[in-house]
Amino acid sequence: MKLYAQQGYGTGTKIIDGLNQGVVQGAILSPKDYRLERVNELLATMATSFPDADRLFDPQFYASLIAHDPAARMGRLTEGDLDTKQYPYFGPRHRTGFETEANIIRDLRSGLQFQASLNVTSVIAPNVLIRRSLNSIEAVIAKNFVRQAASVWAEVGDHRPLLATIAVDSDALQDRHELEAFLADLTIMENPPSGFYLLVSNPTSQIGPELIDYRTLAGWMLMNHALNLNGFNVVNGFSDILTPFLAAAGGSAGATGWWANLKIFSMDRFEPPSPGGRRPVLRYLSKPLLNSIRFDELERLRHFFPVMNGLGTDGLYAPANGSQPDDQKAEVLQTWDSISSFETSGSAPTLQGCLAAVSNAEALYDSINSSPAMRLTGRSNGDHLEHLRGGIELFAQLAEIEV
Amino acid sequence: MSIPKLTETEIAGLCPQFTNIAEIAQGGFKTVYKAEINGVKEVIKSVAIPDADGSDDKDRYRDECVRRVEREVRILEQCQSPFLVKTGALPLKSHAVGEHDYVLYSEEFLDGSDLWKTLRSSTNRPTEAEARMLLKCLLLAIKEMWELRVVHRDIKPCNVMMLSDPCRPFVLLDLGIAFSLIETGLTHNAAFRGPLATYRYLAPEMGDPNFRSNLDFRADLYTSGLTVFEYTTGQHPIAHDSDDAIRTVTRALHQAPRSLGTLRPDFSKEFSALIDQLLKKKPALRPSNLARLIAFLES
């Protein structure tokens, strides 16, 4: 299981430090938040200093369908005029335009030719977001993007591995019959890509934003499982703490970043901004709890309950400083370290291991919550465990396996 | 009223170029005869066409029966794989004999035994190497059929011949109910025909009333898994001999199969896991990269 840095605004030295410390094995760069010049600089540094690290570039083409909105936050994606655009493959698109195959091929060619010029180790093909249903026009369009991607990439004449994007709304994954039919189509394509870049959009989560409904998790795991069985490399974007669960189902990599919008995939990132908002309190990702808690909660609990990971990055949350890390970089390094540590001795997490981790977390939450003064509430509470357990159990049923 | 099968004498009259004609098998509407032409052994297949009764339904059913045989022969003529039976010297032709109609054609004679007879007559179970070879031959046959967008739909031990020829250790027979993705369906009225496939070897997706819009070669991967399982263990992974058709189909749709590894612990975990995976109910859970599968079997 590999973990990538999901790059975004405010990169600084986070990715390089993460690679240096061995807590990430690559990065997925985001053009929205990075000028092309910076993209090339970072890729060059990674290639020179960390030649084994994977370097990917998410073209973020799925945002093209909302790029007409003048208030949309497209960042660097739409900067410049026709002659000076940094990312010339990107522009506003209408869904109806993709009902013509020639337009799909044109956008694939443009996006892939652009990536061929980057120093990436694998390329990610553009695609649209499937917002409603896997049995919709958008799903047909998305499948056409996948179908055509490999032949367009072959025309470009590059031999680096090609990942096709599948970006889907979380609700769409919950209809098991549609998901099974969709997977049946994806796994039998004539000229398939080497792998897939899976994104699951979760705009309406009622629980912690990194965690999702158990039916969505089961569907996401099933996608990893079925694609892996059919020989595809599966990279999950914005998978955060779900990465070990997806890896146990067959995924080869996951990714997470430092802002909430880099931990979970949502088109909110591109939508017009809503008023309000404040800088988030720094958190600690506790493996034993399978959840992140605020540093002040960590400070309260760490002397009484086994919530610490026992990893090197625990030192960033020094008791002498009230368990408060210095900055966001410390927080993300700790997050990456925590998720990466689910892989032990080079072996990917197993479903049994994931279930055991959920059981342990349930017991730990019970123990903590039995002390009223210690109880974890809000985003730090244990509601996610029911979804994690339910997700694994439903996945096992869908995948016809016994856990 | 059942249609009489043709006698050996009648076959000799219809196929004067053949000698030494002897009936060797009979099932459904089909009768199979061993025969020789220019010193080469072949099998003549005679398919009885249901009699007309003046109704439109029956006429269309008769047409369906003829066209199924035509499709089978056409596919066999198009396929080059040594792991699919070859057509013989007698081209497809309809004949009226008495009040009944028959369609005749010939195939090569395969000197061997079908897997069903073998597994039922012997307690010696094949080695993993032989099981791998069987699966590889079936996959190569499936691959060629799929290139024509054809699904066999009836892979089972009695439709696989085991030969002593090392270049053709296993050969797949009988495309009588083959499904073509690029041709219009042949079934006019399902009430007229017999079972779509042998119930014990029904891929779960065939239980979907709309299977025609979704069927692909993974149904053949499933039945190949069943065939290898049964051939190597002597037991069907799901069906019981004492079950009726309804229970058999219900098991195929809903019951998890036994794991090959539990019955053949001497097999490698990887090979047993592959057969188990081919027996998954959902097509997307069956590994379908044929080149990759064949490479694994050759490894």
For residue A187, which residues of chain B lie inside 8 Å, CB to CB?
A: 283-284, 288
Examine the domain organization and report whether A74 and A120 are in the same domain: yes
- Cα separation, B36 vs B171, whole angstroms: 20
Stretch B189-207: mean pLDDT: 71
pLDDT on residue A205: 46
- Cα separation, B169 vs A167, whole angstroms: 46
pLDDT for B149-176, tens place per residue?
999 999 999 999 999 999 999 999 988 8
- Cα separation, B63 vs B67, whole angstroms: 6
Average pLDDT, chain B: 90
Examine the domain organization and report whether A212 and A338 are in the same domain: no
In terms of residue numbers, what domain contains A224? 2-269
Examine the domain organization and report whether A348 and A374 are in the same domain: yes
pLDDT on residue B227: 97
- Choose among A99, A79, A95: nearest CA to A87: A79
User: Which pair of structure tokens corresponds to residue B84?
Assistant: 């699919």
Asked if the C-beta of B8 comes within 8 angstroms of chain A's C-beta atoms, the answer is no
Positions of chain A with pLDDT lower than 50, given as ranges: 205-206
- Cα separation, B159 vs A211, whole angstroms: 51
Examine the domain organization and report whether A299 and A256 are in the same domain: no
Spatial CB neighbours of A228, under 8 Å, sequence gap ≥ 6 = A234, A249, A250, A251, A252
pLDDT for A164-215, tens place per residue?
999 999 989 999 999 999 999 999 998 999 999 999 998 654 456 667 889 9
Backbone angles phi, psi at B30, to 5 degrees: -105, 135
For residue B218, which residues of chain A lie inside 8 Å, CB to CB?
A: 184, 188
**pLDDT surpasses 70 at B90:** yes
User: Which pair of structure tokens corresponds to residue B43?
Assistant: 């099998």
List the CATH code of the domain at B112-298: 1.10.510.10
Examine the domain organization and report whether A334 and A197 are in the same domain: no
List the CATH code of the domain at B8-108: 3.30.200.20
Examine the domain organization and report whether A204 and A287 are in the same domain: no
Q: Are A300 and A284 in contact (CB under 8 A)?
A: no
Residues in B 260-289 with any Cβ partner in A closer than 8 A: 277, 280-289
pLDDT on residue B190: 57
Per-residue pLDDT band for B284 (boundaries 50, 70, 90) equals very high
Examine the domain organization and report whether A235 and A296 are in the same domain: no
Per-residue pLDDT band for B275 (boundaries 50, 70, 90) equals very high
Q: Which residues of A21-178 form beta strands (DSSP E)?
A: 26-29, 54-57, 123-125, 129-130, 162-169
Examine the domain organization and report whether A124 and A148 are in the same domain: yes
> How many Å lie between the alpha carbon of B157 and the closest alpha carbon of chain A?
25
Q: So where are chain B's domains?
A: 8-108, 112-298
The stretches of chain B forming alpha helices (DSSP H) are: 8-14, 56-78, 115-121, 128-147, 218-233, 245-254, 260-263, 269-278, 290-298
For residue B273, which residues of chain A lie inside 8 Å, CB to CB?
A: none
Residue A84 lies in a domain: yes
> How many Å lie between the alpha carbon of B273 and the closest alpha carbon of chain A?
11
Examine the domain organization and report whether A211 and A347 are in the same domain: no
DSSP-assigned beta bridge partners for residue A28: A6, A56
Per DSSP, chain B holds a count of helices (H) and strands (E) of 9, 10
Residue A79 lies in a domain: yes
Q: A221, A247, A269: which is the final residue of a domain?
A: A269
pLDDT on residue A387: 94
CA B132 from chain centre, in angstroms, equals 19
- Cα separation, A391 vs A401, whole angstroms: 14
Examine the domain organization and report whether A33 and A150 are in the same domain: yes
Measure CB to CB from residue B281 to each of A226, A230, A400 and give the nearest one. A400
Residue A193 lies in a domain: yes
pLDDT on residue A276: 61
CA B268 from chain centre, in angstroms, equals 28
For residue A186, which residues of chain B lie inside 8 Å, CB to CB?
A: 284
Examine the domain organization and report whether A168 and A298 are in the same domain: no
Q: A230, A245, A269: which is the final residue of a domain?
A: A269
Q: A269, A294, A309: which is the final residue of a domain?
A: A269
Q: Are B85 and B76 in contact (CB under 8 A)?
A: yes
